[in-house]
Amino acid sequence: MNTRTEDLGADYQIVPFAEAHVAPFASWFNALGNNDVWTESSVRRKTIQDAAYDPALMLCAQEAGQPVGSILGNVADGRGWIRAFVVRPDRQCRGIGTLLFDQVERVFAERGIDEVHAGWARPNYFLPGIDIKYTSAIVFLDRRGYQTSRETRVNLDVAIAGRDWDTDREEADLAARGFRVRRARPGDEPAIARLCETHGFHGWAVEAAMALEEQPTTVFVAESASPLDPEYAIRAFAAHSVTGPAHFGPMLTAADLRGMGIGSVLLKRCMQDWQQAGVSRCEIVWAGPISFYARAVDATIGRAFWTFHKSLA
């Protein structure tokens, strides 16, 4: 669609987000404070390669054929989601974000969607919400009628470089108690999904499945070594590089096994992966319980996020 904005004296074309927009989006998104981890591959996976990709809701604004802003929307659970939005730094405050939001909200309304969430998305989000330091984004959403409870979600920071992440002793102790730890295989997806469903975390099953598509997989599991426990052999898992290239999570241990040190071992195995790849620091995304991560890997509170919602009714 071509949109003429008279007060700006400019023509903007709103087009579906496509391959040509992946690199510009990654560049703009990385330019945001504390957000410089996004590769083109990770952006592509959350946009045009995502099962929820919808060309009517994932859009790019172009000026004279050049991309100047993007909004990434989708529908899930009967609600609208805006997983990310960004305008090229030198084209901000020119009404481009308004045009993109107007178009996406119009499509939501036409489809009978009357509730929209902004700053994250199900099932494949970039961030847990809007970083509370992104003042301009929060002001923009407020002016559009988006509301927040100010309930804060936090990421934790972990320094990886130069630290000893060896888990041999802990794994030997677990083996003596009937559990073994290994890198997951693609065929483990059904067992991991059952574990997630049993504990009420359907979304984590989706994220784990994405991590199982990597080569090698970016998931570690702890399984029962008992031949009497074949169906639910996998009792815990931890994944990394799913929501972002240096983001940890999700992680889940069966409720009856918590406190045994399984989660700590799986967490450290993920840190080993990153250390070997030259990653110096990571973020534990949407972290909890904070006390566990602080004790296990000296994690400290880093970024904080708010989520926003709006009624279109």
Does the pLDDT at position 303 exceed 90? yes
Query: For the segment 144-197, what is each residue's pLDDT rounded down to a tens digit?
Result: 999 999 999 999 999 999 999 999 999 999 999 999 999 999 999 999 999 999
User: Alpha-carbon distance 70 to 17, whole Å?
Assistant: 7
The reported pTM is 0.90
Domain ranges for the chain: 2-153+305-311, 161-279
pLDDT in tens, 13-59: 999 999 999 999 999 999 999 999 999 999 999 999 999 999 999 99
The region, left, alpha or beta by phi > 0 then psi within -120 to 50, assigned to residue 72 is: beta
pLDDT per position as a tens digit, 87-110: 999 999 999 999 999 999 999 999
Which whole number is the average pLDDT over 261-286? Answer: 97
Going through the chain in order, the beta strands assigned E by DSSP cover 2-5, 10-16, 58-63, 66-76, 79-87, 115-118, 130-131, 153-159, 179-183, 219-224, 234-240, 247-253, 281-284, 300-306, 308-311
Segment (H or E) for 39: none
CATH superfamily of 2-153+305-311: Gcn5-related N-acetyltransferase (GNAT) (3.40.630.30)
Neighbours of 84 (CB within 10 A): 24
Check residue 11 and give its pLDDT.
85
CA separation, residue 104 to residues 101, 108, 111, 112, 181 (Å): 5, 6, 11, 13, 45
* Burial classification of residue 162, based on how many CB atoms lie within 10 Å of its CB (0-12 exposed, 13-18 middle, 19 or more buried): exposed
Give residue 227's pLDDT: 64
Higher pLDDT, 203 or 85: 85
- At 122, the pLDDT band (50, 70, 90 cuts) reads confident
Residue 135 has a pLDDT of: 97
pLDDT value of position 189:
96
Q: Which residues contact 267 (CB under 8 A, 6 or more apart)?
A: 238, 248, 251, 293, 296, 297
Which is the CATH superfamily of the domain at 161-279?
Gcn5-related N-acetyltransferase (GNAT) (3.40.630.30)
Q: Are 179 and 154 in contact (CB under 8 A)?
A: no
Percent of the chain with pLDDT over 90: 91
9 pLDDT band, cuts 50/70/90, is: very low
Q: What is the DSSP code string of 13-34?
A: EEEE--GGGHHHHHHHHHTSTT
Cα gap 94→256, rounded to integer Å: 55
The answer, yes or no, to whether residue 259 has pLDDT greater than 60, is yes
Q: Would you say residue 225 has pLDDT above 80?
A: no
CA 221 from centre of chain: 21
